[in-house]
Amino acid sequence: IGARELVSAPRAPRRWTPLLAVPVPWLVWVGAMRMRLGAWPTEQSDGNLGLVPFGGAWAAAPAWSAGRWGLAAALLGGATVAIVSSRDPLLRWVLAGQLLLAATMGVFVWRQWSASGRLLLPLAVFALLALVERFGAPGMADHAPDRRPGVGTRPEIAVAAAGEVSRGSW
């Protein structure tokens, strides 16, 4: 979200410096671990992180059931379609960030549904929201509230379309 704001509308430095509150401490931590331990975070992850995009999923895939294959394909495919087709640029950025996080998950995370399911839940929810926002849900128009004046309100205070107050006309 911060990257989108920086790209879409350049601002004075005092307006965008709060966006550095998360990445700067993380980069300092990564640098300190590199200097102290001589390793990058992915080297010490024991298979929880990966540098190759979706390398962990590829390595864990031979052990998956057919249902797991279908779920992974539906989730990643749906997220990709949602990114491409969403009308909301902020939602596209959030989805792209979640997809990038999914790409860094290691083999041990992809191997266990309890691990990958929790981490992929935000991606699934945001993808579903983007797809519903773009394509709608079947029957949504049937359940939409009627916003005409006087409809769906109490008869004592209902205002008819002509602007007259209706009393007990039900």
CB atoms within 10 A of CB 75: 20
Give yes or no for residue 148 having a pLDDT over 90: no
Domain ranges of the chain: 1-44, 47-137
pLDDT digits (tens, 9 = 90+) for 43-92: 656 667 777 788 888 888 899 889 888 988 999 999 999 999 988 888 88
Determine the pLDDT at residue 142: 53
Q: What is the mean pLDDT of residues 23-33?
A: 80
Range of lowest pLDDT (39-43, 58-62, 127-131, 137-141)? 137-141
pLDDT digits (tens, 9 = 90+) for 85-113: 988 888 888 888 889 888 888 888 888 88
For the whole model, what pTM was predicted? 0.58
* Structure-model confidence comparison of residues 77 and 24, the more confident one: 77
Please check whether residue 134 is in contact with residue 82, taking contact to mean a CB–CB distance below 8 angstroms.
yes
What DSSP line would sit under 98-160, residue for residue? HHHHHHTB-HHHHH-HHHHHHHHHHHHHHHHHHHHHHH--TTHHHHSPP-STTTTS-TTT-B-
Non-local CB neighbours of 102 within 8 Å, separated by 6+ positions: 54, 76, 79, 119, 120, 123
